[in-house]
Amino acid sequence: MAATAGSAEAVARVEARGVGLRAGLACVLFLLGALLVGLAVGPVHVGVGAIVRSGLAYVPFLHVHQPLDAIDRAVLWQLRAPRVALAALVGGMLAVAGASYQGVFRNPLADPYLLGVAGGAGLGATLAIVYASAAVAGTAWAVPLAAFAGAIAAVVATYALGRSAGAARTTGALVLAGVTVATFTAAVQTFVQQRHSDVLQNVYAWLLGGFSTATWSDVAVCAPYVAASSLVLVLHRRLLDVLSLGDDEAASLGVDVARARLAIVAAATLGTAAAVAVSGLIAFVGIIVPHTIRLLVSTSYRAVVPLSLLAGAGFLVLADVLARTVLSPAELPIGVVTAFFGAPFFAVVLRTSRGGA
């Protein structure tokens, strides 16, 4: 009997840490807090209590009295809420895609734009702004669609190029192919942009990214992609740990490395392209959020992937609050905010956690 008890004890200790209750709860609370701040902050003052009650009033059978008048309601639910929701979706997506790319490429500096998403989306959006907007009025939908198509096309080109250069076995060829495609699309985009300097401002504004025009239909367009992609990535979290042992060892553990990598890259790319299409290019989220989780919680992808999703969502909602309040009524490009506030924050995390280790 003693032997049985001893083995049960040993089994109890052999666990993969995963998310952990404390870190998981902290990230959920951070996201909820960020969502409330996002809804509460703005030129029209609405209290947090009123926001919660107003939200509950929409839930049937609860019989909560709507505390806000029609104008406040419109401000809250038609202007702020879609903006907050979109920032959360995009932030979560970029962070989880960044974490996955870093795992697949075993490169801490990999971001979701690595394989040409940014270049392709930029080119697509520029072409749409220059040609579609000039041709027909009321083609606002053309820009996100073209950005999405450009992003997917660029990554497909990267994959095809990388495969022919032997990317089935190494990730190096794939990364180089990504650089090649990104450089080429950037060249074409700059050329088109220079030829049509009248729309330079529009192109530039799109590239910098932001949520100032967010609507519920943007959210509806983006959400299915983000949901599907993040689900696939979260399901692959244990495999990302296996891939961190290198291609050879993962293969000797029975993993079809090329197929697993393709599934992860495809999911991350699809989600990122959808996010970029509705928000433009927002730098830094895909790098800073996963690394903060690594430094504060764990480097295992079982923790990094799901927690990046939550923390990335909260982070971008807060960044967007700053983008619209710092120079109010003017807006800062959100990419400026993520870099300006994100970089020093990251520096502090880096310093303290290295000091503690």
In the list 201, 212, 299, 352, the residue contacting other proteins (rule: CB under 8 A) is 299
Residue 194, H or E segment = helix 172-195
Q: Does 15 bind other proteins (CB under 8 A)?
A: yes
Lay out the site mask for other proteins across 252-271 (x = CB under 8 A, - = otherwise): xxxxx---------------
Q: Does 83 bind other proteins (CB under 8 A)?
A: no
Buried b (16+ CB within 10 A) or exposed e, 135-152: eeeebeebbbbbbbbbbb
Chain position carrying tokens 């903006």: 83
Q: Does 220 bind other proteins (CB under 8 A)?
A: no
Stretch that binds other proteins, among 205-213, 215-223, 235-243, 319-327 (CB under 8 A): 235-243
Residue among 24, 93, 39 nearest 289 (CA): 93
Instruction: Round to whole Å and give the CA distance between 118 and 115.
Output: 8
Q: Does 109 bind other proteins (CB under 8 A)?
A: no
Instruction: Round to whole Å and give the CA distance between 13 and 2.
Output: 17
* Residue placing its CB nearer to other proteins in the complex, 250 or 334: 250
Q: Does 108 bind other proteins (CB under 8 A)?
A: no
Q: Which amino acid is at 40?
A: A
Beta carbon of residue 298, minimum distance to other proteins (angstroms, whole number): 7
- Please count the other Cβ atoms lying within 10 Å of the Cβ belonging to residue 326: 14
* Residue placing its CB nearer to other proteins in the complex, 16 or 64: 16
Q: Does 352 bind other proteins (CB under 8 A)?
A: no
Q: Does 317 bind other proteins (CB under 8 A)?
A: no
Residue among 21, 243, 280 nearest 128 (CA): 280
Burial level of 196, CB count in 10 A (0-12/13-18/19+)? middle
- Two structure tokens written together for 270: 């699809």
Q: Does 188 bind other proteins (CB under 8 A)?
A: no
Instruction: Round to whole Å and give the CA distance between 244 and 257.
Output: 11
Beta carbon of residue 84, minimum distance to other proteins (angstroms, whole number): 31
Beta carbon of residue 344, minimum distance to other proteins (angstroms, whole number): 25
Contact of 136 with 254, CB cutoff 8 Å: no
Q: Check residue 166 and report its DSSP letter.
A: T
Stretch that binds other proteins, among 61-69, 109-117, 133-141, 291-299 (CB under 8 A): 291-299
Residue among 120, 275, 113, 277 nearest 189 (CA): 120
- Two structure tokens written together for 343: 């970089």
* Residue placing its CB nearer to other proteins in the complex, 7 or 328: 7
Residues in the chain: 357
- Two structure tokens written together for 42: 């703005």
In the list 170, 248, 327, 352, the residue contacting other proteins (rule: CB under 8 A) is 248
In the list 202, 244, 325, 353, the residue contacting other proteins (rule: CB under 8 A) is 244
Beta carbon of residue 270, minimum distance to other proteins (angstroms, whole number): 18
Beta carbon of residue 44, minimum distance to other proteins (angstroms, whole number): 46
In the list 83, 236, 261, 324, the residue contacting other proteins (rule: CB under 8 A) is 236
Size of the site for other proteins (CB under 8 A): 30
Instruction: Round to whole Å and give the CA distance between 319 and 86.
Output: 12
| Residues in contact with other proteins by the rule CB under 8 A | 7, 10-11, 13-17, 235-236, 238-239, 241-242, 244-246, 248-256, 294, 298-300
